[in-house]
Amino acid sequence: MCEICEGKGWYSVPNYRTERLESVQCEHCLAEEELKETLSIETSKLLVNFSKEKLCRMLANFCVDVFHSRDEVSRLQTLIDTKSIVGIEGFLQVNLRRE
């Protein structure tokens, strides 16, 4: 977590001319976000060379591992049986985010 803004992205600084606090965007966090975006773009350029099947297999293994570790294999089986693409997509969006 950022020590400057405590992870909020903004912090207050005094404006002695107006005798008020002003919110300022944290340049450290902004630089970190720009770095993450650049890395994401560069990584996607590499991943585009993967085969569709290989990426799908990797995501499927991830799903199985997470559901198994949570002892929720039956929930995954239900998503598979009902062909719930939205359910799998939602699961991946939530579980691939690590912050």
pLDDT one-digit tens code per residue, 28-83: 999 999 999 999 999 999 999 999 999 999 999 999 999 999 999 999 999 999 99
Whether residue 90 is found in the same domain as residue 59: yes
Report the pLDDT value the prediction gives residue 1, as an integer from 0 to 100.
83
For residue 77, the one-letter residue type is Q
Whether residue 57 is found in the same domain as residue 44: no
Question: pLDDT confidence of 98, banded at 50, 70, 90?
Answer: low
For residue 47, the one-letter residue type is L
Report the pLDDT value the prediction gives residue 70, as an integer from 0 to 100.
93
Q: End-to-end distance of the chain based on CA atoms, in angstroms?
A: 10
Whether residue 16 is found in the same domain as residue 38: yes
Residue entry with tokens 């199985």: 64
| Entry pTM | 0.61
CA 87 to chain centre: 17
The residue range of the domain holding 37 is 1-49
CA distance 81 to 88: 12
Tally of structural domains, the chain? 2
Whether residue 39 is found in the same domain as residue 61: no
Whether residue 55 is found in the same domain as residue 44: no
